[in-house]
Structure 1
Amino acid sequence: MQQTTNYQLNQWEKTDRILMADFNGDNSKVDAALKASADAVAAEAAARAAADAAEVAARTAADDAEIAARTAAVQAARDACPLVLLRSVTTSVDANQIDLSLAGIDWENYGDILIYMRLTLTAPPAGVNYNYQYIPVRLNNNSGSVYTSGGTAGTALITLLVDRVGVSFSCQIPRGNRGISALWNGMNILNGYQYFFNTLTSCNTDQLRSSFTTMNFISQYGLAAGCKIDILGVRA
């Protein structure tokens, strides 16, 4: 009786005697070969899955380590920098008043509070002609004579001269327990001339600083969209 080359399965000829054992033997060989092939395929798939999982785990661990390192570096840079951005406001619409929130500032955590602002006027309404406005700055919308500058009482913490081109101002609020004393600095270009002022103004109320919730910038005709105000704290 002839047999196949690879698995030695029986190949009968006309003169061969057909026996059940030969059939059973061939089926056993085929079954064993198929099982071995299936096991090999399953083992290869398992090995690939394990390798893929290991690669994903390694990449995830590397990404987590990189994120942690970057986060630590950013935090270290922030800790090393004395300035902390407490809030930033850019107006999106024209307004006659901009209220800068002071709520939530822990004054005791900072040596000074620095306020930087750029104010621009709106176009004048019909029938009105102006190139600049005086913008009073108040606290908590208080318009009473509770502000002093050079010993003179007034109705505003300071009055800013703002033109339609736009003016940049800064304000330094030194650390203190009561009231607000503000050192204002600004530069204005009006009719081709530069005006620079450096004026110390203070609020003479005996209220705790935490009682001041807003700093109010008030315009008769309007402050333009895009006015920007930033508050920074200097770490104590």
Structure 2
Amino acid sequence: MKKNYSYTVFNLFKNFIERLFGVASWATSKGGFLGNHKGCPYLVNNKNTIRLFFFFVFLFGKNGTVIFAQTQATLVGKVTDQNTTEELIGSNIIITQNGHFIKGLTTDIDGNYKTKIVPGTYDLEVSYTGYATQKTTGFIASAGHTTKVNVQMSAGQIFDVSISCGWYFCPPLIRQNEIWTGRKIDSREIQHHSTRNINKISTLVPGVSFSQ
């Protein structure tokens, strides 16, 4: 004879609820749950009550987890170089919604990223050193579904950098190949000069001129 399992589960659940509310009603009539529960007619089969309790905790707890997972959306993608298709490890990803920051993450060693977000419409911004920032706007993340947003990065503009500093303040690494020439004018040479005007004396240095 084939058993009707749905009917059996229903009866178990009904029995459990009756016992649960029966204990609550009996305890309330006796002055609360902190009193002595001996003699409660609903606790005659105590083991079955405990078994039913844990059975339904497991049943509804599992379903609750599934329901929560279905209310989330999954966002995945890959960040690569547009020309070489090379994976860009450690790319910075910022997810925003209506201009508000939602979440930040980075790509793994394969250039991939994955995260969970609340269903909605989002914007995604990806940045990486040496590349132009890429923006993807208005993509929709649906509950219980996976949305894929792949990003291809193009090389950004490279600017020339010049370093200028005084001789005594430049690091040795910068000065080691520097060719420096100069002339020192001491006090004895100034005394032998026909003028004491420091501006005119400075013309003794090659490349320095004085005009008044």
Shorter-chain TM-score range: under 0.3
Larger strand proportion, structure 1 or 2?
1
- Compute the TM-score of the two structures, normalised by the length of structure 1: 0.21
Larger helix proportion, structure 1 or 2?
2
- Compute the TM-score of the two structures, normalised by the length of structure 2: 0.23
